[in-house]
Structure 1
Amino acid sequence: MIRRGALATLWSWAAGCAIAPPADLDLRGAPPLLLLGEVHDNAAQHALRARALAALLTNGARPALLMEQFDREQQAALDAAAAAPHATPATLISAAGRGGWHWPHYEPVLALALAHALPIVAANVSRSDARRIIAEGLSAHGFDAAVPEDLMALQVAAIVRGHCGHLDAAGARRLAPAQIARDQFMARQLTVHAARGAVLLAGNGHVRSDAGVPRWLAPAQRERSLAIGLLEHGDETAGRFDRALHTPPQPRPDPCAAMAPATR
């Protein structure tokens, strides 16, 4: 369940203003497959998930930790780094991390995984794989090309929004297979680790119950899963998740301000 209590006021040095901290995320009694979303740069959400995972482990759970931040071809390097004496989050990131992520956000959950000997699973399809999938199709790379039209329409709309309107629906439809492949691969990894339980850490777009990873889980696994979106105040997409929790927005420049029109 998600527990919402009274909110105290804290001072955020990063934001330079007073903010209300989010309610706790209580995962006790949750099903064995947990999909925890995020806005990638929201520090409060990362702290919230780390606290929730720590409490889950204190209660005896030992799920696999599936992370969007690692690409599937990095699994061998990730396993070797985790098995090395005196492994630390920094050594994992050095061995298998890729650019584009603010790694201090993820170090606390990696530390928990190492301390409790959790499998750390690379759950993403790389950008190079994604380019090949866009060019050659899902089935050419072992993914399911039978994409329901309602799911495709939702993915196209999300990509258009993500490009701030600089990409039209036809261009977004050509890009959608890459996102769909990622969702399918994450669903497969959840299924592989379902017997022991698994926690997937991924962006909210992947965790959406209407168009993300849950759509690619078999019915038996979907029944054992819970998709939780961690959203910022003002985000009205809570209905796209099994559960949703709002946090204060992370101060950031307008992401659309400097975005050039995408090449079609």
Structure 2
Amino acid sequence: MKALLALLLTALPALAGPIAPADLAAAVQGADVVVLGEVHDNPAHHAHQAQAVAALRPAALVFEMLTPDQAARVTPEVRTDAVALEAALGWVAAGWPDFAMYHPIFLAAPGAVVHGAALPRDQVRQAVRDGAAAVFGADAAAYGLDRALPPEDLAARIALQDAAHCGKLPAALLPGMVEAQRLRDAALARAVVQAMAKTGGPVAVITGTGHARRDQGVPAALALAAPGLRVLAVGQLEADPGPDAPFDLWIVSPAPPRGDPCAAL
């Protein structure tokens, strides 16, 4: 009976599929970890994240955009002041979109401990060359980084990387880009595990929608490293992903006006 109850408690959510933003507040209840995806420059996605965070009331926030050092600069003195916090984080120099979209997320959980999962660029470049396991450290096996990807899975991930980079990367570089993505997923999952140990949860993760995928993103890494956690994966997209989207729940919002993202590449 206890085993059945545990299984039921980890079965989040009861229904999977598209969700209206207004239903997010109810959907996040009962989760230990809510992975909230985004398209980085979409203001609607950040508004939905702030809404979900306010409803969850997490003990910790994990940001893809912040290093641990940057996260430590989120003090009560600067947290409520968007200008001061943006300056303290060195946000503009890091190259992320307008901080005004992200600041409401910090305000939505004023007491949450902020954790950063961003990695130094030299470590990411090393993962491209040598593989994620070589960079991650002693816990690589716990997060599945010591395992070679099955050929079909690797091919699918290579195709995703090729599309994400507008088909402009040399084919020989794409497997390394997959390793860099695996490293980032594992780093985010490790930050969640650390946040859970420190605070007891719940934890909200603010990250790109690719990292929110259940089949290969942060939820997949957590399933290996911390299988007892109840994880809810929420993808945010700008087009209908179809019925087999790799998320528990997903929201589709219109794309904001933007130039050709491939032009810069």
The answer to whether TM tops 0.5 is yes
More helix by share: 2
Larger deviation, residues 34-43 vs 96-105: 96-105
Which residue number in structure 2 is paired with residue 171 of structure 1? 173
Alignment of 1:30-49 (within 5 A): 30-49=30-49
- Structure 2 residue 58 is matched with structure 1 residue 65: no
For residues 69 and 180 of structure 2, the distance between their equivalents in structure 1, rounded to whole angstroms, comes to: 23
Unaligned 5+ runs, structure 2: 1-12
Higher strand share: 1
Higher relative contact order (CA 8 A, sep 6+): 2
**For 1:60-115, what per-residue CA distance to the aligned partner results, in whole angstroms no more than 9, with x for missing partners?**
xx3310001112xxx244324415577634333322344221211111112233x2
Contact persistence 1:70–1:122 (CA under 8 A) = yes
Deviation at 1:168, TM superposition (A): 4.7
Letter in 2 for 1:33: V
The corresponding residue for 1:55 is 55
**Residue in structure 2 matching 1:120, options 114, 126, 144:** 114
State the distance in 2 between where 1:86 and 1:230 align.
26
Q: Give the letter aligned to residue 100 of structure 1.
A: G
Q: Is 1:202 the equivalent of 2:197?
A: no
Deviations 1:123-169 (A, max 9, x none): 22232321122233323321433242244333211110011122254
In structure 2, do the counterparts of structure 1 residues 77 and 48 end up closer, same or farther at CA, with 3 Å as the change threshold? closer
Distance (Å, rounded) in 1 between the aligned partners of 2:84 and 2:148: 38
Question: 2:6 maps to which residue?
Answer: none
Contact 1:209 1:240 in 2 (8 A): yes
The one of 216, 220, 223 equivalent to 1:218 is 223
User: Which residue of the other structure, out of 173, 186, 189, is the alignment partner of 2:188?
Assistant: 186
Q: Establish whether residue 101 from structure 1 lines up as the match of residue 100 from structure 2.
A: no
Q: Which runs of 5+ in 1 are unaligned?
A: 6-21
Contact 1:37 1:204 in 2 (8 A): yes
Counterparts of 1:100 and 1:34, CA distance in 2 = 25
Q: How does 1:77-96 map to 2 (within 5 A)?
A: 77-82=70-75, 84=77, 88-96=81-89
User: Whole-Å Cα distance in 2 between the matches of residues 254 and 164 of structure 1?
Assistant: 10
- Do the aligned partners of 2:233 and 2:249 also contact (CA within 8 Å) in 1? yes
Pairwise CA distance, 1:35: 0.4
- Partners of 2:213 and 2:31 lie apart in 1 by 17
- Helix, strand or coil at the partner of 1:69: coil
Range moving further from structure 2, 144-153 or 42-51: 144-153
Q: Does 1:130 align with 2:124?
A: yes
**Distance (whole Å) between structure 1 residues aligned to residue 130 and residue 239 of structure 2:** 39
What is the RMSD of the two structures over their aligned residues, measured on CA atoms? 2.6
CA drift at 1:36:
0.5
Q: Which deviates more, 37-46 or 240-249?
A: 240-249
Contact 2:36–2:204 at 8 Å: present in 1 too? Answer: yes
Instruction: Provide the rounded CA distance (Å) in 2 between the counterparts of 1:156 and 1:122.
Output: 27
Distance 1:227 1:152 in 2: 22
CA contact (8 A) 2:79 2:107 kept: no
| Match in the other structure for 2:245 | 239
Q: Equivalent residue of 1:193, what SS?
A: helix
CA–CA distance in 2 between the matches of 1:37 and 1:170?
29
